[in-house]
Structure 1
């Protein structure tokens, strides 16, 4: 029996070993008796290694393209400058209710045509009065745009 480890590529997450697509070194018996029969891993071959490298390069290119698109969205949103939301107002410029992240997402879609997720709108404070507010919108894990929201009476 060989005491040397063998290289395998995981097809699914294995607790304590790794995530799908990772190349890990395991004992031959563990691979032969546990990983291979359950189709959790395959033996590493030169062709598979090349395929893994191509997959990583494609993933990196896709992530770079997503970040570039987020940068373009940020530039477009900040070029527009100000988004106007009209709400019913009571005494002392207090709103009936408040401006929510959904309201901001809707006005951005209506004004710019860019569909942003309401969960990515970061409100530092509750907007309950008329005025101009700065709101952060997370477009990508590394790209955040700052919008000027003007709340006016209906």
Structure 2
């Protein structure tokens, strides 16, 4: 009986693996199905080295993104608080409410850091004047807490 051969997948193969994974398959399966459809390539030492380099580059890129998010967090928390001016009616109630988009715009105007409105986490609706704490997700592992002060126009 022939021994299994090791191949690196170039695309997802149901029941076998994801792109970039090294798997062992029967020689006939590799020769007759995977190779002709360019779903996999035979594993070579050069290919292993190339894959290792890609993993290292990806890890370095992720580390750099996290470090940049940490720097953004430090910059945002150094500013202290962000002031949003809104029209106010009776009893300090706002006309409308402060939205995540409003907060993202104020952060951009004040600090120059462009944050996505979908990353602004509002625990409660902001419908009155006052000071509120708002979470901003800068990275999957980094969250900054901002002080938002809502004042009348």
TM-score, with structure 2 as normaliser: 0.96
**Separation of aligned partners in 2, 1:29 and 1:38:** 13
Aligned residue for 2:127, secondary structure, equals strand
Structure 2 gap ranges (5+): none
Deviations along 1:74-115, one digit per CA (max 9) or x if unpaired, are 000000010000111111111111111111100000000000
Aligned residue for 1:103, secondary structure, equals helix
Deviations along 1:10-62, one digit per CA (max 9) or x if unpaired, are 11111222111111111111111111111111110000000000000000000
List, as ranges, runs of 4+ consecutive aligned residues in structure 1 with deviation greater than 4 Å: none
Query: What RMSD, in angstroms, separates the aligned Cα atoms of the two structures?
Result: 0.8
**Separation of aligned partners in 2, 1:34 and 1:55:** 26
Aligned residue for 2:145, secondary structure, equals strand
**Separation of aligned partners in 1, 2:75 and 2:124:** 25
Structure 1 gap ranges (5+): none
What is the CA-CA distance between 1:126 and the residue it aligns to? 0.7
TM-score, with structure 1 as normaliser: 0.96
Question: Is the deviation greater in 7-16 or in 65-74?
Answer: 7-16
**Separation of aligned partners in 2, 1:41 and 1:121:** 42
**Separation of aligned partners in 2, 1:75 and 1:16:** 45
Question: How many residues of Structure 1 are paired with residues of Structure 2 in the alignment?
Answer: 151
